[in-house]
Amino acid sequence: MTMEPETPQWRDRATLVDLLDRVLDRGIFLRADVVISLAGIPLIGVTLSVAIAGTETMLKYGILTDIDQEIRALPPRRGQVQRRRRPAAGRGTGKVKVATAA
Amino acid sequence: MTASPTVADTIGTDAVYVYCVAHSRAHWLLGPIGLDRNMVYTVPHEGLCCVVHSCKAKPYQSDDPQAVEGWVVAHQRVVKTAMEAFDAALPMAFNMIVHDGPNGSAIHSLKGWLAEKRDDFSARLEELAGKAEYGVQVFWDRQAVIEALTERQPELRDLRDEARAKPKGQAYMLRQRLAKAARAAIESQANQYVEAFYSQIGQCVAKARVERLKRVNSGKQMLLNLSCLMKKDNTALGRALEKIREIDGISVRFTGPWPPYSFVSAA
C-alpha cells in the first residue's frame, strides 16, 4: 500500500498555511540592495511582511500562536460591542463590556 | 497560445509582477489568471522566460486577510500553471516586482536579469524537470505514546503500579518520579523516531529539507516537518510513509505536488 499526496486544496486551512510558508518565505527573492548594486536593475522587492498582512491573518494562519489575543486591542467596529480586557490592576483581570459610539 | 498582451493589459502600468522563471523561447499568453485577474504573459530572452503581469510600481499589500489570501492563491495558480506548461519553473517569492527605471523599462531590466542568470537558471531548471516538491509532516499523539511506553517499559510500569497501590502521600512522590522518567523516555523515543523517519524518507527522495515544527491545535504534536524534492512518478516515498503511519500513535500529512519553492534560493 502507498500513501498518496493530497493535492493542495485552498478550502483546507492547513494547506493555506503550507502555501503561505512557501510563497512568503521561499521562492526566488530579488533582493533590492544586492541586485541594484550588482546589476543596476531598478526593483521593488518587498516581501509581504506579516505586519502588512495584519495580525488577524497571522493568528488565523497559526503563524503567531504565542500572542495573547486579548491583550492586543482589536480595533472597534461601528455598532459592535467592544470587549476589552483591563491590564492587571491588582485582583486579576476583569472583562469590561463597553458599547462603542455609533 | 503564443501572443502578446494587448495595450489594455499594460496601459497605466510602470512595472511587472514576476511569478516565476521557465525555459521558453516564445511569447505566451497564459490568460487572466494573475493577481486581481491580471493578464499573465511571458517575457522571453535567449531561451529563458519570466512569467509576469503588468502592474503599477507598488507592492501588493492589504489589511484584509481575504484579499491577501486571494493574491497568494493566484500567485500559486500561475506558478503551477507555468510548471505544468513548461515542465519546470523556478517560483519567485510573493511580491517580486520590477519597475521602469532611468536605465530602461521593467521589461528591459528583466531581460538583463535573465541574461545575467542564464546559466544558473538553466541548470536549475534542468535539474527540476519532472520533479516537484512534496510536504511531509509527521505527528504523534504524545499522551497515547506516553501511556504505551509506560505499559511497555518495566521501570515505568512498576512505578505506575506502585503508585496506584500506595496511599496519597507516597503515591504523589512515586508519580513525580514516574513523570520524570516518562519525560526522559518520551524524549528518547522522539529522537529515535525523528532520526529513523528522516533517514527512511531521505532515502526515497532527491532532496529533503528540514522545516520548522509548528504548533498544532489538536492533541497531536509535530515531530518532523520536511519539504521533499522528488520525481512526480516516484512511489517510494508514498510506500515509506504508509509504513510510518502504521506505527501506533503516529500520523502523517503528505501534501503535493507543489512547485519547488523550498528548493530555489535567493538570486
- Determine whether the interchain pair B96/A17 forms a contact, defined as Cβ–Cβ distance below 8 Å: no
Element spanning A72, H or E: none
Q: Please state, in angstroms and rounded to a whole number, the distance separating the CA atoms of residues B26 and B43.
A: 8
**pLDDT for A64:** 38
Residue ranges of alpha helices (H) inside B129-212 are 142-152, 154-165, 168-202
> Alpha-carbon distance B16 to A61, whole Å?
28
What ipTM was assigned to the predicted interfaces of this complex?
A: 0.83
Q: Give DSSP secondary structure letters for A2-15.
A: -PPPBPP-TTSHHH
A42 and B64 in contact by Cβ < 8 A?
Answer: no
Q: Cβ contacts (< 8 Å) between B109 and chain A: which residues?
A: 41-43
Domain boundaries, chain B: 7-128, 131-263
pLDDT of residue B177: 93
Give this prediction's pTM. 0.77
Cell of A44: 521593488
Residue B217's nearest CA partner among A67, A55, A65 is A65
DSSP secondary-structure letter at B38? P
| Residue B251 three-state SS | strand
| Predicted local confidence at residue B163, as pLDDT | 92
Residue-level pLDDT at B88: 94
3-class DSSP state of B259 = coil
- Interface contact A42-B95, CB threshold 8 A: no
Pairwise CA distance, residues B82 & B19, whole Å: 9
pLDDT digits (tens, 9 = 90+) for B90-139: 999 888 888 887 778 889 889 988 999 999 999 999 999 999 999 999 99
Nearest to B93 among A8, A14, A24 (CB): A24
> Are B98 and A43 within 8 A, CB to CB?
yes
A74 part of contact set with chain B, CB < 8 Å: no
Q: Where is A77: in which H helix or E strand?
A: none
Contacts of A29 in chain B (CB under 8 A): 92-93, 96, 266-267
Cβ(B19)–Cβ(B40) below 8 Å: yes
Tracing cell 519553492 back to the chain, one arrives at B261
> How far apart, in whole angstroms, are the C-alpha atoms of residue B236 and residue B202?
11
Residues of chain A with pLDDT under 50: 33-102
Q: What 8-state DSSP symbol labels residue B172?
A: H
Are residues B236 and B204 in contact, defined by beta-carbon separation less than 8 angstroms? Answer: yes
| pLDDT < 50 stretches in chain B | 267
Nearest-CA distance B180 → chain A (Å): 26
A72 to chain B, closest Cα gap in Å: 16
Chain A CA closest to residue B80? A8
How far apart are alpha carbons B81 and B95 in whole angstroms? 18
- At the topology level, CATH places domain B131-263 in Alpha-Beta Plaits (3.30.70)
Query: For residue B96, which residues of chain A lie inside 8 Å, CB to CB?
Result: 27-30, 45
**B94·A27 Cβ contact <8 A:** yes
